[in-house]
């Protein structure tokens, strides 16, 4: 790996900052703490934009489980203790809620603890989302497990019930479903899906999957019964502890009127102080996942012809080893996050972990090449959007650079085709899950409708960051002609951008955007670094000199007393210069260190209760950009001062949705967006430490 050393200020922390850093676990880190504080929503079963189930409540019994869009995708859990029924999952108010005593979120696990009626029940949702192993990462399986023991020294007769409704396999409750039962090795497997099976027939934002099959797979365990039923199965267990003796689900069944469900019951018998455990596997076989340039692509786990049954068998056989690996991974990652940014930062990054992954789908082409497609959740539904890849990139650059390459590859391939006629980079590849060509800007696109400087700069910078992580510019060489074309565009248009959109397009067009100018300059410096790595000495020298000259001009044009402007022509304006972070992370060293010092001092004076506004125009902000801005400084006290309000936002926001990246700094309310991959941008802090970046990125080789 070719990691550049970052600039050191040589200044010591003040006493108060040192005390704060110590309190947050920055000094002498040994902590391996999960997220136990309140969060806007809690991840339960997260794999991709369609298989993504959350709790939007503090207690798991206070509301139904939901898809990230907020639509109900209900799972329910009941436990009978000595003949009395309690619920531990779902909001069926006909049963008493089991008392929830804790909830902990790790990168790959969510763990709830309940204690009541003489027993302790631990419910774990475990998704082995290990970025270094693409086969495991792609596998659409979450393990749900129960651990039960007596707490009062007395034995208790206990049985556990769990069901998942057909809503997990439907877009709306107007869909009708069919079901099946099969043997998978020695497991019982129930599956359910729509009657119509319209594979890849819809594209858009506020949609759920309505093709493929949701699976409830149950390994052989004592006292097990399963059923495909209407809601009566849940009622029957609540009243008498049993399930229907035969499957009683109509074919096809209407979701709206019957709430068809797949159910399992475990009779644990007499439970004493020794823990009794049971588990199931929740899985989704979507058959075909993505359409890219009019070719239907399958999930990565299928690339060698693996069947669903084989996948489930393998998942079950590897459960124990995967749990051990994941627990080790969780603890090591959380420890390193805490060391880099403190415990509040580590908790924010932990909550962002599965959300970042689940906003993507990992597929493969006919040659077995991995391709990772993002979805713009509650933004516009676009697929493989460049300015969504850009903010999420630190997550992948750190944890497995191959996954960033898998996002860049389809975009650069598309941009190299004759059909892309523009001298700048595309914005997207279509609308999820159809990646057949850009849709942003409409049918008759003009340059002003698109994001020319933004996306061209993004792709050059990310290609350079990938080369740093991989220690090779081979990927850049493959696409050198198109990268050169974009560098030439930025050479002409980048210093003082025209009336263009940036990634913050919700704020509207802005000419003379100083932060966008920084991106163009960093991109030209990145192009020079890539040319150097490829032995193109003359080109490297030319673009390095150009970037240096532009950076010097930028400082003269943007300075406004004690800070730097939002736009070159707007005196008295200001903005977060988050794009400047690459100057430090990639070792470009184009901009004067004085700029960071002045900006940081200015930012610390302009924060609101829930964070630093994006710029002077509005009081809203972006979560990812605040962390990038905080990473500009090599003073830990500055980083903590700017990111601690994000912890307050995470724990106190009144908006109950999967973590939103766009919110008000005055009251913590969501402005827009939720469950987006861009929260992976909080991992930028980890890239600022070359040794930390090298350690984690090398695991993905």
All structural domains of the chain, each given as residue ranges with its CATH number in brackets, are 42-287 (2.70.98), 337-699 (1.50.10.10)
What is the distance between the alpha carbons of residues 349 and 371, in angstroms, rounded to a whole number?
A: 24
C-alpha distances out from residue 373 to 142, 250, 299, Å: 21, 37, 11
What's residue 30's pLDDT? 52
Query: Which two tokens mark 270?
Result: 């007499």
| CA-wise closest residue to 415 among 470, 485, 462, 364 | 485
Instruction: Specify burial of residue 152 (Cβ count, 10 A radius: 0-12, 13-18, 19+).
Output: exposed
The answer to whether the CB of 490 falls within 8 A of the CB of 453 is yes
Residue with tokens 């704020």: 507
Q: Find the angle CA(548)-CA(495)-CA(560) to the nearest 5 degrees.
A: 90
Please, what's the largest Cα pairwise distance for the chain?
A: 81
Phi, psi at 156, each rounded to 5° = -135, 140
DSSP state of 7: P
Full-model pTM: 0.94
What's residue 641's pLDDT? 98
| CA-wise closest residue to 158 among 222, 75, 216, 91 | 222
What's residue 28's pLDDT? 47
The count of other CB atoms within 10 Å of the CB of residue 33 is: 16
What is the distance between the alpha carbons of residues 351 and 362, in angstroms, rounded to a whole number?
A: 21
Three-state SS at 121:
strand
What's residue 230's pLDDT? 86
The answer to whether the CB of 46 falls within 8 A of the CB of 62 is no
The answer to whether the CB of 688 falls within 8 A of the CB of 393 is no
The answer to whether the CB of 44 falls within 8 A of the CB of 54 is yes
> Could you give the strand order of the β-sheet that contains 620-622, starting from the edge strand earlier in sequence?
620-622, 662-664, 670-672
The count of other CB atoms within 10 Å of the CB of residue 59 is: 16
> Could you give the strand order of the β-sheet that contains 84-89, starting from the edge strand earlier in sequence?
96-97, 84-89, 75-81, 156-165, 261-271, 224-229
What is the distance between the alpha carbons of residues 372 and 399, in angstroms, rounded to a whole number?
A: 14
Beta bridge partners of 148: 121, 276
The answer to whether the CB of 392 falls within 8 A of the CB of 680 is yes
Beta bridge partners of 42: 55
Give the CB-side neighbour count of residue 70, counting CA atoms within 13 A: 11
The count of other CB atoms within 10 Å of the CB of residue 313 is: 17
| Full DSSP string of 546-577 | HHHHHHHHHHHHHEETTEE-SBTT-TT--B--
Phi, psi at 499, each rounded to 5° = -70, 90
Query: Which two tokens mark 566?
Result: 């939002």
Instruction: Specify burial of residue 506 (Cβ count, 10 A radius: 0-12, 13-18, 19+).
Output: middle
| CA-wise closest residue to 356 among 530, 595, 115, 108 | 108
Q: Find the angle CA(636)-CA(640)-CA(644) to the nearest 5 degrees.
A: 175
C-alpha distances out from residue 399 to 21, 205, 329, 402, Å: 25, 28, 11, 9
Query: Which two tokens mark 435?
Result: 């990646």
Instruction: Specify burial of residue 4 (Cβ count, 10 A radius: 0-12, 13-18, 19+).
Output: middle
Category of 524 on φ-ψ map: left (φ > 0), alpha (ψ -120 to 50) or beta: alpha
| Full DSSP string of 74-115 | -EEEEEEETTEEEEEES--TTSEEPPEEEEEE-SSEEEEEEE
What is the distance between the alpha carbons of residues 568 and 514, in angstroms, rounded to a whole number?
A: 6
Residue 439: partners with Cβ closer than 8 Å, 6 or more residues away = 382, 428, 430, 431
| Residues in the chain, total | 701
Taking the chain (701 residues) in runs of 10, the rounded mean pLDDT of each run is 34 34 44 89 98 98 98 97 98 94 98 97 98 97 98 97 97 94 96 97 96 98 94 92 85 80 97 98 98 97 96 98 98 97 97 98 94 95 96 98 98 96 96 95 76 96 98 98 98 94 83 97 98 98 98 98 97 98 98 97 97 97 98 96 98 98 97 97 98 92 70
């Amino acid at each position: 790996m070719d990691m550049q050393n970052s600039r050191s200020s040589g200044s010591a922390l003040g006493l108060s900052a040192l005390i704060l850093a110590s309190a947050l676990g920055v000094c002498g880190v040994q902590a391996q703490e999960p997220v136990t504080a309140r969060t806007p929503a809690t991840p339960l079963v997260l794999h991709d934009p369609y298989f993504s189930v959350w709790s939007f409540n503090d207690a798991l019994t206070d509301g139904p489980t939901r898809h990230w869009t907020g639509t109900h995708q209900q799972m329910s859990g009941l436990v009978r203790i000595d003949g009395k029924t309690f619920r531990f999952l779902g909001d069926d108010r006909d049963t008493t809620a089991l008392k929830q005593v804790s909830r902990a979120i790790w990168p790959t696990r969510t763990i709830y603890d309940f204690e009541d009626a003489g027993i302790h029940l631990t419910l774990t949702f475990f998704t082995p989302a290990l970025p270094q192993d693409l086969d495991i990462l792609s596998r659409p399986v979450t393990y749900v497990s129960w651990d039960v023991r007596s707490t009062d020294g007395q034995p208790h007769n206990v049985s556990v019930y769990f069901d998942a409704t057909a809503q997990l396999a439907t877009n709306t409750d107007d869909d009708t479903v069919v079901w099946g039962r099969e043997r998978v090795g020695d497991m019982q497997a129930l599956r359910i899906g729509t009657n119509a099976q319209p594979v890849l027939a819809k594209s858009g934002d506020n949609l759920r999957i309505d093709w493929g099959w949701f699976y409830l797979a149950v390994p052989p365990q004592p006292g097990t019964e399963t059923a495909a039923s209407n809601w009566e199965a849940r009622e029957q267990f609540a009243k008498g502890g049993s399930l229907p003796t035969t499957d009683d689900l109509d074919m096809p069944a209407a979701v709206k009127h019957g709430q068809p469900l797949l159910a399992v019951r475990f009779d644990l018998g007499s439970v004493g102080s020794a823990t009794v455990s049971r588990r199931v596997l929740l899985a989704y076989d979507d058959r075909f996942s993505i359409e890219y340039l009019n070719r239907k692509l399958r999930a990565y786990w299928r690339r060698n012809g693996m069947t669903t049954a084989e996948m489930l068998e393998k998942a079950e056989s590897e459960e124990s080893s995967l749990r051990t690996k994941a627990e080790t991974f969780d603890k090591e990652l959380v420890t390193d996050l805490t060391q880099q940014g403190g415990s509040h930062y580590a908790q924010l990054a932990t909550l962002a972990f599965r959300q970042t992954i689940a906003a993507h789908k990992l597929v493969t082409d006919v040659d077995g090449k991995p391709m990772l497609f993002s979805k713009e959740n509650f933004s516009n539904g676009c697929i493989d959007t460049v300015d969504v890849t850009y903010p999420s990139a630190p997550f992948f650059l750190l944890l497995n650079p191959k996954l960033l390459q898998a996002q860049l590859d389809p975009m650069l391939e598309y941009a190299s085709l004759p059909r892309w006629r523009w001298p700048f980079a595309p914005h997207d590849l279509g609308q999820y899950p159809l990646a057949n060509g850009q849709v942003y800007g409409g049918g008759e696109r003009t340059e002003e409708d698109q994001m020319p400087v933004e996306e061209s700069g993004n792709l050059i910078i990310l290609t350079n960051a990938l080369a740093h992580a991989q220690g090779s510019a081979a990927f850049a060489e493959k696409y050198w002609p198109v990268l050169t074309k974009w560098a030439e565009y930025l050479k002409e248009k980048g210093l003082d951008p025209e009336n263009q959109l940036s990634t913050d397009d919700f704020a509207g067009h802005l000419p003379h955007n100083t932060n966008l100018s920084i991106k163009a300059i960093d991109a030209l410096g990145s192009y020079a670094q890539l040319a150097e790595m490829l032995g193109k000495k003359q080109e490297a020298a030319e673009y390095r000199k150009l970037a240096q000259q532009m950076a010097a001009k930028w400082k003269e044009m943007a300075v406004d007393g004690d800070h730097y402007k939002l736009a070159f022509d707007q005196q008295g304006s200001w903005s977060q210069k988050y794009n400047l972070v690459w100057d430090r992370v990639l070792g470009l060293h184009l901009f004067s260190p004085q700029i960071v010092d002045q900006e940081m001092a200015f930012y610390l004076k302009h924060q609101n209760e829930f964070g630093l506004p994006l710029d002077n125009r509005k009081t809203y902000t972006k979560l990812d950009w605040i962390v990038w801005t905080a990473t500009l400084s090599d003073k830990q006290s500055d980083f903590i001062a700017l990111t601690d309000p994000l912890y307050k936002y995470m724990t106190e926001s009144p908006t109950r949705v999967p973590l939103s990246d766009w919110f008000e700094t005055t009251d913590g309310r969501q402005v827009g967006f939720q469950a987006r991959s861009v929260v992976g941008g909080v991992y930028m802090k980890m890239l600022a430490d070359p040794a930390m970046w090298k350690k984690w990125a090398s695991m993905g080789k």
